[in-house]
C-alpha cells in the first residue's frame, strides 16, 4: 500500500509559488497554428463578455487587418492612445506602456505577443511589456502563433521554408495562467483566404502559393495542438501533485523504466528508448536503492551511474530513489508523475518458486492501474541467468566478490554468547524474561549487521532457547505443546524486528546522506554570502568540491570584454586547464570537457558560471576519481554549486561597483564644493592682477625693454590663471545643474565661425580647414556655451599636435542627429583610455610641460550632455585623434511669410 499523503516539500513549494503570484496580473494567451484562424476574434469576443459583466476592459493594441467582423467587435471598448515614435524618417504608432501603467485597467488587450517594439522603446519585445504589466497587477490577454515559440521556430522554418524572426521564449508561454487554443481546419482556413477574410485579395493568392499550402497548415496545426497538449499535461500533473491524486489518469502515454545493478540494465535502457521513440512519448528511468543494494561494491555503483547517464543521454528523466521495497517505490513514483506504463526486465532462464512474487507481479498487484511491460534479458553463459557481481560488466572488468560471511559469523557468536550469559539466570528469571534477552540480542544483530544476519539470529535464538532452557533441557524435544506457540511467536517477532530494524537503519542512513548534502550546500551558501573577494570564492569552491567529489577546482572569471582570464589563485589548482575549452563553455553557456558531448576526452569538466544578469566565468573541475561526478544526481549537485558561485561572483561585482560609485559621487561632491569655494576666492585677486598689469602698461612714460616684457608676461599669466578659474567655475556650475541654457535655433556654421574668431590669437592662419555639407539644419543650442566646446577642442588640438599640422572640422546629418567631427594629426589618444580622457583632471600624460589641468574635455562633455548630445574620442586609423559630437536634430519652427503663409 502506497502513501497517498502529499509531499511536504511540494506543499511548501506550492505555498511559496502562490505567495509570489499574489498581487500579480493573469496572462491569457489565444494560441493558434497560423494567422487567420481567429485568435483576435476569439479574444475580442471574450473581452466583450467580460465588459458586459462589468470588468474594466481596455484595448492596448488590436490588429484587425481590415477584417470587418473583427473591427465590429472593437466598437464600444475603450482604446488607450498610442505613442508616436520617430524611426527612419517615419512616425510610427507604438503601444504606450507608461500610459497603460498610469491608467491601470483591470483587463488589457495586447495583440501579437511576439511583436518587436520600435528601437528606443523601453523594452525591445512586447512580451517584456506584458511582464511589466503583469507585475503591476494588470490582467493581459494576448495572441500568438506556434511559429513564434522559440523552441519551435527552427522546426516551423524547416517545414514552411520561411524563418520568423519575432519569437517568444517558451518560459513566457509555459508560465501563462491560461492558454486557449484557437483551431481551424486547413480547408476552412484556405476558404477564408480565398474570400479575402485573412489578407487582401491580391495578397491572398501569393500567401496560398507560399506559406499557406495545405501541407504546411496540417503540420503547423499538429505542432500547435501538441504544444498545447504538453502544457495541459503539465497543468494536470501539477494538479495531481497538489491534490495528492493516487490513481494514474490515462491521459497520455508514458513509460517508466526501473533498472537495477545487473549488467544487463544497459539493454533495458536501449530497448525502452526505442519504444519511447516509436510511440513518441516521454519516459523516465529510476534506480531504487534498497538496503540490500546499499552494500554494493564501489565498482557496481559506478556502473549504475553510467547506466543512468546513458538513459539521460537517450532523453529520459532520471532519478535515484531510496526505499525498503522496490515495488512500492516504483508504484509511488509512477503515481506522482502520472506514468501509465512500467517497463521491467525479465530473466529468461531463471525459475521462480511459486511462493515467491516477481517484481513485475508485485508492481502489478500494488499498482492495479499500471500497465507492466517486461523485456526479456539475455541469460548468462550456459543458458543460466547471470548472477550479479560475478560476470563481466559493461566495461569488461570483473567485479570483486564481496565477502559476506563475517556478519553471519558474528551473528552466531552473539547468539551463543547470549545463550551462555543467560544460563546463570535460568533459576532466577522466568522463561518469558529469557525470551526478552534473546529478542534484545536480535535487535542488536539487526542494527549492527543488517537483515540477513538478523534473520539467521532469529532462527538461532529460537533453537538456543529451545535447546538450553525449555524442558527437557539440552534436547530439541518439547514436552509441552504450548512452547510451540512460544517458538512461533518468538520467531515471528524476531523476524519482524529484523525487517523493521534493517529498514529503519537504511532509511536513517539515506536521511543522513541527504542531510549531509543539504548541510554542505547550506555551508557553501553561507560561506559564499560572506565572501568579499574573488579569491575567497575560489577557496570556498575548492574546499566544497574537494570534500564532495575529491576534485581539484579552478575558478576563471571573465573580464569586461567577455574574455576568460587565468584561474583565480587558490590551493591545489588543476594542472592542465585549457583556456580555449573554458572560453567555448563561456561563449555557448554550455558545459564542455569530461562527461559532456563537447570534447569528452578532456580530463577536466568546464561548467559555465551563469548568474541572473550575465555569464560570470567558468568553473574547471578535475576529479581524482573520474566516475564520481558522472551521474545525474552528481551533475545536479555540480550545477547547483556552479549557480551559487555565479551569484556570489555577481554579488561581489555589484558590491564593487556600488562602492566605486559611492566613492566617486562623494569625491565629485567634495571636489565641486572645493572648486566652487576656491574659484570664487581667486577671481578677485586675479582680476586685480590683470587690472594692475594693464595699468602698468598705460603708465607714462610707458615701460621699456625688460620692464615691458615682465609686464606683458605678468598679464598673460594672470589671464591664463583667470581662464583656469573660469573653467573651474563653469565645471562646478554644470555639474551642480544650476546653468540655464539660452537655447536658440542657430546654424552650426555660425557657431564654428565665432569659435574660430575667438581662437584667432592661438591658431595659425589657414591651419583649420572646415568642410560642411550644404544641407545642415538649424540646431537648438546655447551658442555661447557651445562655442566653449569648439574652443576647448581646438585648444586641445593646438597643445598636443605638431606646430603647423592641419586641423579639420567636418559634419554630417541623418534623420535623427547631426554629427560634428574635429580631426587632428597628432599622436592620438592614449590606448584604452579614450573614455577616461573626459573625466575631470585627466590628462594624456601625467607629467608634461604642456600647460593645462585636464578640464577642457570634461567641460566639453558636460556642455554637450546638457544639450542632450554625446561626445566621444578615438584614435584614427592613420594618425591623430578624432572627437565626435552628436546632437539631436530636432524640428526648427517654420517661418511665416508676409502673406501669412508658412515657408
Peptide bond into 472 cis (omega under 30): yes
- Of the CA atoms within 13 Å of residue 513, those in its CB half-sphere come to 11
Residues in contact with 208: Cβ distance below 8 Å, sequence separation at least 6, in sequence order: 190, 193, 194
- With 0-12 / 13-18 / 19 or more C-beta atoms within 10 angstroms meaning exposed / middle / buried, residue 386 is buried
- Return the ∠ at Cα 198 (arms to 196 and 201), rounded to 5°: 35
**Confidence band for 583, pLDDT divided at 50, 70 and 90:** very high
**Confidence band for 130, pLDDT divided at 50, 70 and 90:** very high
Q: Rounded to an integer, what is the distance from CA 336 to the centroid of its chain?
A: 28
**CA gap 577, 619 in Å, rounded:** 10
Tens of pLDDT, residue by residue over 461-502, are 788 877 787 777 777 776 777 767 777 777 787 778 777 777
Query: Residue 689: which of 713, 656, 665, 669 has the closest Cα?
Result: 713
Element (H, E) at 242: helix 214-243
| DSSP secondary structure letter of residue 611 | -
**CA gap 760, 786 in Å, rounded:** 17
Between 325 and 392, the more confident residue is: 325
Between 301 and 658, the more confident residue is: 658
Query: Residue 269: which of 254, 285, 255, 280 has the closest Cα?
Result: 285
pLDDT of residue 393: 33
Residues in contact with 126: Cβ distance below 8 Å, sequence separation at least 6, in sequence order: 61, 95, 110, 112, 113, 114, 115, 116, 117, 142
Would you list the DSSP string of 97-124? Answer: HHHHHHH--SEEEE--TTPBPPTTSSSS
Measure Cα distances from 710 to 147, 691, 698, 700 in Å: 83, 15, 14, 17
Query: Residue 291: which of 507, 1, 497 has the closest Cα?
Result: 507
Q: Taking residues 723-727, what's their average pLDDT?
A: 66
What is the length of the chain? 903
Would you list the DSSP string of 653-700? Answer: HHHHHHHHHHHHHHHHHHHHHHHHHHHHHHHHHHHHHHHHHHHHHTSS
Residues in contact with 247: Cβ distance below 8 Å, sequence separation at least 6, in sequence order: 335, 369
Tens of pLDDT, residue by residue over 222-246, are 888 878 877 776 666 666 556 555 5
What are 358's three cell numbers?
516477481
Q: Rounded to an integer, what is the distance from CA 16 to the centroid of its chain?
A: 20
Between 283 and 71, the more confident residue is: 283
Tens of pLDDT, residue by residue over 25-36, are 999 999 988 888
Q: Taking residues 82-95, what's their average pLDDT?
A: 80
| DSSP secondary structure letter of residue 610 | E
**CA gap 744, 754 in Å, rounded:** 15
Judged against a pLDDT cut of 70, whether residue 372 lies above it is answered with yes
- Of the CA atoms within 13 Å of residue 569, those in its CB half-sphere come to 1
User: Residue ranges of the alpha helices (H) in 531-553?
Assistant: 534-549
Tens of pLDDT, residue by residue over 3-47, are 555 555 555 556 656 655 667 899 999 998 888 888 888 999 999
Listed as own residue / partner, the contacts of 183-191 with beta carbons closer than 8 Å and 24 or more positions apart are 183/32, 183/33, 183/37, 183/221, 183/224, 183/225, 184/32, 184/33, 184/36, 184/37, 184/38, 186/214, 186/217, 186/218, 186/221, 187/214, 189/34, 189/36, 189/37, 189/217, 190/214, 190/217
Q: Taking residues 786-794, what's their average pLDDT?
A: 87
**Confidence band for 735, pLDDT divided at 50, 70 and 90:** low
Q: 10 Å Cβ neighbour count for 737? A: 8
Mode of pairing for the β-strands spanning 881-888 and 870-875: antiparallel
**CA gap 320, 523 in Å, rounded:** 24
Judged against a pLDDT cut of 90, whether residue 349 lies above it is answered with no
pLDDT of residue 242: 61
What are 787's three cell numbers?
562655442
Q: Taking residues 612-623, what's their average pLDDT?
A: 88
- Identify the three-state secondary structure at position 178: strand
Q: Rounded to an integer, what is the distance from CA 462 to the centroid of its chain?
A: 63
- With 0-12 / 13-18 / 19 or more C-beta atoms within 10 angstroms meaning exposed / middle / buried, residue 581 is buried
Side-by-side strand order, sheet with 341-347: 317-322, 283-289, 255-259, 341-347, 371-377
Least confident of 440-454, 663-677, 781-795: 663-677
- With 0-12 / 13-18 / 19 or more C-beta atoms within 10 angstroms meaning exposed / middle / buried, residue 538 is buried
Query: Residue 797: which of 772, 762, 832 has the closest Cα?
Result: 762
Judged against a pLDDT cut of 50, whether residue 401 lies above it is answered with no
Instruction: Say what the alpha-carbon torsion angle 775, 777, 783, 789 is, to the nearest 10 degrees.
Output: -60
User: Residue ranges of the alpha helices (H) in 737-762?
Assistant: 748-758
Element (H, E) at 810: strand 807-813
Q: What is the 3-state secondary structure (H, E, C) of 379-415?
A: CCHHHCCCCCCCCECCCCCECCCCCCHHHHHHHHHHH
Between 264 and 247, the more confident residue is: 264
Tens of pLDDT, residue by residue over 650-701, are 889 888 888 877 777 777 677 666 666 665 666 677 777 777 877 777 777 7
pLDDT of residue 377: 81
Instruction: Say what the alpha-carbon torsion angle 140, 142, 146, 149 is, to the nearest 10 degrees.
Output: -50
Q: Number of H helices and number of E strands within the chain?
A: 26, 24
**CA gap 787, 780 in Å, rounded:** 13
pLDDT of residue 693: 75
Cβ atoms of residues 598 and 586 within 8 Å = no
**Confidence band for 442, pLDDT divided at 50, 70 and 90:** confident
Between 42 and 312, the more confident residue is: 42
pLDDT of residue 397: 34
Give residue for cell 568553473. 619
- Of the CA atoms within 13 Å of residue 101, those in its CB half-sphere come to 11
**CA gap 92, 120 in Å, rounded:** 12
What are 737's three cell numbers?
545643474
**CA gap 32, 148 in Å, rounded:** 10
Q: Determine phi and psi for 532, rounding to 5 degrees.
A: -115, -10
**CA gap 644, 642 in Å, rounded:** 5
Judged against a pLDDT cut of 80, whether residue 648 lies above it is answered with yes
Judged against a pLDDT cut of 60, whether residue 203 lies above it is answered with no
Query: Residue 259: which of 302, 307, 306 has the closest Cα?
Result: 307
Residues in contact with 787: Cβ distance below 8 Å, sequence separation at least 6, in sequence order: 751, 754, 755, 758
- Identify the three-state secondary structure at position 625: coil
Judged against a pLDDT cut of 90, whether residue 250 lies above it is answered with no
Element (H, E) at 82: none
The overall average pLDDT reported for the chain is: 78
**Confidence band for 387, pLDDT divided at 50, 70 and 90:** very low
pLDDT of residue 739: 62
Mode of pairing for the β-strands spanning 57-61 and 107-110: parallel
Judged against a pLDDT cut of 70, whether residue 895 lies above it is answered with no
pLDDT of residue 22: 65
Q: Taking residues 705-730, what's their average pLDDT?
A: 73
Q: What is the 3-state secondary structure (H, E, C) of 196-219?
A: CCCCCHHHHHHHHHCCCCHHHHHH
Peptide bond into 701 cis (omega under 30): yes
**Percent of the chain at pLDDT exceeding 70:** 79
pLDDT of residue 900: 46
**CA gap 836, 858 in Å, rounded:** 10
Amino acid at each position: 500500500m502506497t502513501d497517498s499523503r502529499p509531499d511536504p516539500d511540494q506543499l511548501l513549494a506550492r505555498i511559496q509559488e502562490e505567495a509570489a503570484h499574489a498581487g500579480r496580473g493573469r496572462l491569457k494567451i489565444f494560441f493558434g497554428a497560423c494567422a487567420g484562424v481567429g485568435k483576435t476574434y476569439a479574444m475580442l469576443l471574450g473581452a466583450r463578455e467580460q465588459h458586459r459583466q462589468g470588468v474594466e476592459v481596455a484595448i492596448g493594441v488590436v490588429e484587425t487587418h481590415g477584417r470587418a467582423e473583427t473591427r465590429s467587435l472593437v466598437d464600444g471598448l475603450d482604446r488607450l492612445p498610442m505613442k508616436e515614435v520617430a524611426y527612419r524618417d517615419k512616425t510610427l504608432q507604438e503601444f504606450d506602456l507608461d500610459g497603460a501603467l498610469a491608467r491601470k485597467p483591470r483587463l488589457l488587450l495586447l495583440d501579437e505577443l511576439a511583436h518587436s517594439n520600435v528601437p528606443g522603446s523601453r523594452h525591445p519585445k512586447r512580451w517584456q511589456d506584458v511582464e511589466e504589466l503583469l507585475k503591476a497587477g494588470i490582467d493581459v490577454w494576448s495572441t500568438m502563433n506556434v511559429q513564434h515559440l522559440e523552441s519551435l521556430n527552427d522546426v516551423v522554418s524547416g517545414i514552411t521554408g520561411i524563418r520568423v524572426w519575432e519569437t517568444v521564449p517558451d518560459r513566457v508561454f509555459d508560465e501563462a495562467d491560461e492558454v486557449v487554443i484557437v483551431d481551424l481546419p486547413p480547408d476552412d482556413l484556405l476558404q477564408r483566404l480565398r474570400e479575402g477574410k485573412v489578407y487582401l485579395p491580391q495578397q491572398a493568392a501569393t500567401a496560398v502559393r507560399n506559406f499557406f499550402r495545405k501541407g504546411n497548415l496540417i503540420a503547423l496545426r499538429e505542432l500547435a495542438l501538441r504544444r498545447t497538449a504538453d502544457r495541459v499535461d503539465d497543468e494536470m500533473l501539477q494538479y495531481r501533485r497538489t491534490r495528492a491524486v493516487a490513481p494514474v489518469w490515462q491521459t497520455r502515454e508514458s513509460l517508466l523504466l526501473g533498472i537495477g545493478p545487473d549488467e544487463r540494465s544497459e539493454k533495458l535502457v536501449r530497448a525502452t528508448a526505442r519504444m519511447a521513440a516509436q510511440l513518441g512519448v516521454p519516459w523516465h528511468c529510476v534506480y531504487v536503492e534498497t538496503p540490500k543494494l546499499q552494500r554494493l561494491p564501489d565498482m557496481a555503483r559506478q556502473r549504475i551511474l553510467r547506466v543512468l547517464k546513458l538513459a539521460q543521454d537517450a532523453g529520459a528523466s532520471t532519478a535515484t530513489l531510496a526505499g525498503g521495497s522496490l515495488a512500492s517505490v516504483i508504484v509511488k513514483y509512477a503515481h506522482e508523475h502520472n506514468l501509465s506504463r512500467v517497463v521491467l526486465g525479465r530473466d529468461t532462464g531463471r525459475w521462480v518458486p511459486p511462493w515467491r512474487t516477481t517484481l513485475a507481479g508485485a508492481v502489478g498487484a500494488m499498482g492495479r492501474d499500471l500497465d507492466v511491460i517486461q523485456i526479456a534479458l539475455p541469460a548468462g553463459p550456459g543458458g543460466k541467468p547471470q548472477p550479479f557481481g560475478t560476470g563481466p560488466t559493461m566495461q569488461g572488468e570483473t567485479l570483486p566478490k564481496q565477502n559476506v560471511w563475517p556478519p553471519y559469523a558474528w551473528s552466531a557468536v552473539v547468539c551463543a554468547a547470549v545463550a551462555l550469559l543467560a544460563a546463570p539466570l535460568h533459576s532466577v528469571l522466568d522463561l518469558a524474561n529469557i525470551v526478552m534477552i534473546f529478542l534484545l540480542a536480535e535487535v542488536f544483530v539487526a542494527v549492527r549487521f543488517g537483515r540477513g544476519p538478523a534473520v539467521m539470529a532469529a532462527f538461532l535464538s529460537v533453537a538456543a532457547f529451545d535447546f538450553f532452557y525449555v524442558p527437557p533441557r539440552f534436547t530439541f524435544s518439547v514436552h509441552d505443546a504450548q512452547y510451540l506457540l512460544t517458538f512461533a511467536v518468538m520467531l515471528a517477532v524476531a523476524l519482524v524486528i529484523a525487517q523493521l530494524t534493517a529498514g529503519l537503519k537504511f532509511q536513517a542512513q539515506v536521511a543522513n546522506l541527504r542531510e549531509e548534502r543539504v548541510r554542505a550546500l547550506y555551508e557553501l551558501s553561507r560561506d559564499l554570502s560572506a565572501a568579499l573577494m574573488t579569491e575567497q570564492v575560489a577557496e570556498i569552491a575548492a574546499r566544497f568540491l574537494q570534500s564532495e567529489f575529491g576534485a581539484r577546482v579552478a575558478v576563471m572569471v571573465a573580464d569586461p570584454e567577455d574574455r576568460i582570464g587565468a584561474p583565480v589563485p587558490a590551493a591545489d589548482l588543476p594542472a592542465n586547464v585549457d583556456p580555449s575549452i573554458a572560453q567555448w563553455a563561456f561563449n555557448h553557456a554550455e558545459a564542455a570537457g569530461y562527461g559532456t558531448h563537447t570534447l569528452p576526452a578532456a580530463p577536466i569538466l568546464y561548467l559555465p558560471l551563469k548568474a541572473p544578469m550575465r555569464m560570470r566565468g567558468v568553473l574547471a573541475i578535475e576529479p581524482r576519481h573520474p566516475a564520481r561526478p558522472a551521474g545525474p544526481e552528481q551533475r545536479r549537485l555540480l550545477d547547483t554549486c556552479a549557480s551559487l558561485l555565479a551569484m556570489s561572483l555577481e554579488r561581489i561585482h555589484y558590491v564593487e561597483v556600488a562602492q566605486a560609485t559611492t566613492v566617486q559621487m562623494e569625491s565629485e561632491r567634495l571636489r565641486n564644493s572645493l572648486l566652487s569655494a576656491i574659484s570664487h576666492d581667486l577671481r578677485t585677486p586675479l582680476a586685480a592682477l590683470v587690472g594692475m598689469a594693464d595699468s602698468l602698461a598705460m603708465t607714462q612714460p610707458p615701460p621699456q625693454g625688460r620692464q615691458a616684457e615682465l609686464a606683458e608676461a605678468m598679464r598673460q599669466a594672470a589671464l591664463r590663471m583667470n581662464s583656469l578659474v573660469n573653467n573651474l567655475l563653469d565645471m562646478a556650475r554644470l555639474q551642480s545643474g544650476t546653468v540655464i541654457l539660452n537655447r536658440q535655433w542657430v546654424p552650426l556654421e555660425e557657431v564654428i565661425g565665432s569659435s574660430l574668431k575667438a581662437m584667432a590669437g592661438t591658431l595659425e592662419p589657414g591651419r583649420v580647414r572646415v568642410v560642411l555639407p550644404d544641407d545642415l539644419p538649424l540646431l537648438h543650442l546655447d551658442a555661447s556655451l557651445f562655442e566653449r566646446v569648439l574652443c576647448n577642442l581646438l585648444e586641445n588640438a593646438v597643445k598636443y599636435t605638431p606646430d603647423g599640422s592641419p586641423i579639420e572640422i567636418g559634419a554630417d546629418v541623418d534623420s535623427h542627429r547631426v554629427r560634428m567631427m574635429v580631426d587632428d594629426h597628432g599622436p592620438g589618444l592614449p590606448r584604452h583610455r579614450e573614455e577616461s580622457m573626459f573625466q575631470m583632471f585627466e590628462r594624456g600624460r601625467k607629467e608634461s610641460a604642456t600647460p593645462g589641468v585636464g578640464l577642457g574635455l570634461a567641460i566639453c562633455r558636460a556642455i554637450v550632455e546638457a544639450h542632450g548630445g554625446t561626445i566621444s574620442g578615438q584614435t584614427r586609423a592613420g594618425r591623430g585623434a578624432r572627437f565626435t559630437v552628436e546632437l539631436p536634430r530636432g524640428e526648427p519652427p517654420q517661418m511665416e511669410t508676409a502673406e501669412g503663409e508658412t515657408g
